[in-house]
Amino acid sequence: MKDNFITFLRHAFPFLVAVGLWRLSGPWWNPGGILAIIPIFFCTFVRPTDWFVIFSVLMCILIDYNFETVCFWLAMYCLIYSVNGFQNLVDIKRMDFDGINAFMIFIGLAVLIQILANFTWVNIVRGMWIFAWTNIMYIPITTIIKKVQND
């Protein structure tokens, strides 16, 4: 019984982390719950988890809801999902450092599009902050997910 529960928690941990990071949104340290994009990216592309793609679509819609954007993060997720389909050009699973370079491109492109859509100094600073903060938090969050999922 105890082993079944621990196995369940290991499989459920990425889902719980994504929901927790989305729910713990704050205006400065987690605007719009954007840190939830880290387990979404990691568990979809770097270390694929069963049923996580469907969950990621839902989470991207929830992030859009918090950011008050209309399907922006969902469109970015679908874009990177389609690019990942061309694994002869891009293979995120085999990248060094748990795919942080691909994540930097993903989040950088998304932030750049948001900055250019409404070009103000406040949005530039906010975009730089989101880019820096998500990339800084990528390694600790992915390390925790990997440690918990190890059997």
Q: Could you identify the residue written with the tokens 């990621």?
A: 56
| Global pTM value | 0.90
Q: What is the pLDDT of residues 23-67, one digit of tens each?
A: 988 888 888 889 999 999 999 988 888 899 999 999 999 999 988
Q: What is the pLDDT of residues 52-107, one digit of tens each?
A: 999 999 999 999 998 888 899 999 999 988 888 776 666 667 777 778 888 999 99
